Homo-oligomer: A and B are copies of this chain.
Amino acid sequence: MAQRKSGSTTLKQVAERAGVSMAAVSAVLNSKKSSIRISPATAELIQQAAKDLHYVPNGLARSLRTNRTNNIGLVFENFGGITEGQFYVELLDGVAQELFKNKYRLTILPEVDRVQPINSLGNGLLDGVIWCKLPQSPDVIDILQRCPIPFVALHARPTEAHEAAAYISADNYGGAKLAVQHLHELGHKRLLFILETAEVDVPDAQARLAGFLDACAELNIEVQDQDIRIWSHDLHETNTYFHSQPEHTAIITWNERTAGVLLEHAQSLNIQVPRDLSVISFDSTSFSEKTSPRLTCIYQPIREMATAAVRTLLAQINGETITQDFEYPTRLDLRDSTTEPPKNRDWSSILNAEKSS
Which residues of A line the B interface, CB within 8 A?
A: 1-8, 54, 56-61, 63-64, 67, 69, 71, 79-80, 83-86, 88-89, 92-93, 96-97, 100, 105-110, 116, 118-119, 122-125, 146, 148-150, 260, 264, 267, 286, 289-292, 316-319, 321
Contact = CB atoms under 8 A, between A and B. Distances in A.
Contacts of A264: 289-290
Contacts of A63: 60
Contact of A2 (B1, B3, B267, B317): B317
A31 to B, nearest CB: 14
A151 to B, nearest CB: 12
A69 B60 contact: yes
B100 A110 contact: yes
A59 B107 contact: no
20 contacts: A2-B318, A2-B319, A3-B319, A3-B321, A5-B122, A6-B67, A7-B148, A57-B123, A58-B64, A60-B125, A61-B64, A71-B107, A79-B97, A80-B96, A83-B89, A96-B108, A100-B110, A106-B107, A106-B108, A108-B108
Contacts of A3: 319, 321
Nearest to A317: B2
Q: Lowest 10 A-B CB distances belong to which pairs?
A: A100-B110, A59-B123, A2-B319, A292-B292, A60-B64, A58-B124, A60-B124, A5-B148, A59-B125, A106-B108
A198 to B, nearest CB: 15
Contacts of A122: 5, 8, 56
B105 A61 contact: no
B83 A93 contact: yes
A108 B110 contact: no
Nearest to A76: B96
Given A6-B67, A105-B110, 17 more contacts: A2-B150, A2-B318, A5-B148, A7-B148, A8-B148, A54-B146, A59-B125, A60-B123, A61-B124, A79-B96, A79-B97, A83-B93, A92-B92, A96-B108, A105-B109, A106-B108, A290-B290
A123 B59 CA distance: 5
